[in-house]
Amino acid sequence: MADRPLHLLLVDDHPIVRTGLRMLFQSEPDMQVVGEVDSGAEAIVAVQKLHPDVVIMDVAMPGMNGIEATRQIKANSPETAVLALTMHEDEQYFFAMLNAGASGYIPKRAAPDDLVAAIRVVAEGNVFLYSSLARFLMKDIAEQKLTATSEDDGLTAREIEVLTLIAEGSTSREIAEELVISVKTVERHRENIMRKLDVHSRVELVKYAIRRGLIQPE
């Protein structure tokens, strides 16, 4: 993606919202809106046709909602990142979208700069959670018991470094620069970490890092 702008697909049933988003992204040289649709069903078709890097997905829409659309998009195109952009800031929608495969969740009241930053984070394969929503994550973690101790999770010192940086929201490129390794090596560490911990999403990696005390959410 380094040689071209990030390709974005806008999914929202309100035309004025899509227009505002398009205007925002037009001012970002590394972003390009390649399509916009007003329903979850249309989003699934558009992803197959346009192959966007990131889908900015509304949650509550008539017909197929953003949750089911995200689930189907990730099943068909796992390499496509989905960022939830919604007016709903409750626990039910938050976890429903993350469990469906979204890589981030940000409210529509967020500052434009936060949205732009979130897109760049999820485009790199990382997780973006708006800071005010951290309480949902902490509540979920508090209700779980850590079944693996720091001695038996099998992670090497380098893998713990990579896991910590992933959980802090660093991109693969930033991790590579920080640790003076290649991006390909970062990706290999990520795959090994997920295999050893038997987790299947980046959100689970973040939750694990918090439970182990590697990071403290805001």
**Helical (H) or strand (E) element with 200:** none
The two tokens of residue 136 are: 């949902």
Residue 145: per-residue pLDDT: 45
The contacts of residue 156 (CB under 8 Å, 6+ apart) are: none
Selection from 116, 109, 158, 149 nearest residue 132 by Cα: 109
The two tokens of residue 126 are: 């990382």
Rounded Cα gap, residues 194 and 166, in angstroms: 12
Residues of the chain with CATH 1.10.10.10: 144-211
In single-letter form, the type of residue at position 3 comes to D
Residue 159: per-residue pLDDT: 92
Residues of the chain with CATH 3.40.50.2300: 6-130
Residue 148: per-residue pLDDT: 43
180 neighbors 173 (Cβ within 8 angstroms): no
Confidence tier at 91 by pLDDT (50, 70, 90): confident
Walk across the sheet containing 81-86 and list its strands: 31-37, 6-11, 54-57, 81-86, 104-107, 128-129
Residue 216: per-residue pLDDT: 61
What CA–CA distances, in Å, run from 52 to 32, 116, 117, 144?
10, 16, 17, 35
Plot region of 213 (φ>0 → left; ψ -120 to 50 → alpha; else → beta): left
pLDDT for residue 81 is more than 50: yes
What fold characterizes domain 144-211? Arc Repressor Mutant, subunit A (1.10.10)
pLDDT for residue 8 is more than 80: yes
CATH number, domain 6-130: 3.40.50.2300
218 neighbors 139 (Cβ within 8 angstroms): no
The answer, as to whether pTM is greater than 0.75, is no
Selection from 15, 59, 14, 12 nearest residue 39 by Cα: 12
When comparing pLDDT for 106 and 92, which is higher? 106
DSSP 3-state assignment of 43? helix
Residue 212: per-residue pLDDT: 77
54 neighbors 106 (Cβ within 8 angstroms): no
